[in-house]
Structure 1
Amino acid sequence: MAGSRRRWRVAAHHGRCPSVPRARPGAPRRLCPRDPTLRDVRFRPRGWVALCDGDGVRPADARQVNFFHTSTSRRLRFRLPELHGHRIVGFTDGLLILLNKSTTVVRVLHPFTRAFLDLPPLAPVFHLLVKDSWSRAWMDAAVCWSYASIAVVAWFPNVPVVVYTKPTHARWLVIHRDLKLWTALPFQGRLFGIRKGTGQIVQVYPRHLQHPVVACVPNNFGRPQ
């Protein structure tokens, strides 16, 4: 155990593990804070991004992901056995969003502590709303959070449907039926996206019924990527 503690401290010192908040005076000291709900943003590997394009991608069978720290420029390759049988469909605040290729169950995984949450399968959504196989293959997802819970929001490139679920839900719920997105970005617990064909920046989640349009992308910026 002592050797394990030393190895953890050395790894943390050299930046191979994400930084975590220091314990309060008098509080029990933990080597690796774990939040099984994944709700507490203090314990997320913020600053770390997964290199999911280009040569950062590893073959699915290798079950390895390269990570890059945006502040320190450190890069590490992390082996994740949990990737077996899964596909990465999103990445938010260092958390991986995985889709089980057999069961369509969605999993939110903390890549460093291995804490995870399993969410309902997407099979009913695929069967009823997203029948286009290309849209299924290139779906995107993001984690949104509040003080009470987290939510995962999913959207699809060729289908104007946005769905979401929470750990307490038994199924995915539709929040938009007429919204095609170029791209989307989570910010402070909300999800904002750029609407295809209009350049409007809209609040995707939580749904804002009265004032969904936040701003518009200037025409001289070109088409969002």
Structure 2
Amino acid sequence: MAATGLFYVGAVLFVNGLLLLGFIEAKAAAIMNLFVGTLQVVTPTFLIFTANGDPDTILQASGLYLFGFTYLYVGIGLLGDLDTTGVGWFSLFVAIAAVGYSYVNFALLDNLPFGVIWLMWAFLWTLFFLVLGLKRESMTRYTGWVTLIEAWVTAAIPGFLLLTGQWPATAPTAIVLGAIAVVMALVLLPMLRPPGRRTARAGEGGPAPVETPTDQEYSRT
């Protein structure tokens, strides 16, 4: 059941990445956030109530609420055209908690791949905090692309493989995920450069002055 929720987390992250990049209108993205947010609240509640007191099951299910509450928060905020600082600061809480869940997967559950995935989520939710909570609009495009990549790498693909029984919960998988995370973070760094203005020199007959889009235009939140 948790694997089903993970797969659809990939779907909502994909939509939210496109939202940050300006391809989807805010209220149009709100519906998917409400759908998946509800799923990610119902799923852990069911898992906890049927866990028969098993501490590992309850521990793993508890982390799902972090995402369920995030997506409900985002969906309601988009529909109500609310300020983003609330969900932004909540994202900081999620990022800190994700580091703890990463430690749990590494040290207690011996689940190395998801130890890495939780760290990738901690990085992503830190970006949400910076963009939505602190209004660092220059980071919007970077965050949008990280969201798109993590939608597939940390959620949709692992969720699908878990559903089909093909997920390799091994150290090599963790290494590959870690390598993807590092390459992603570094390759996308040029997007953090502030947009500039390109102009033609007077008298050279070049094209008219062109102003690159501002980060405000890319931000849909």
TM class by smaller structure: under 0.3
Q: State the structure with bigger RCO (CA 8 A, min sep 6), 1 or 2.
A: 2
Instruction: Give the structure-2-normalised TM-score.
Output: 0.26
Q: Which structure: greater strand fraction?
A: 1
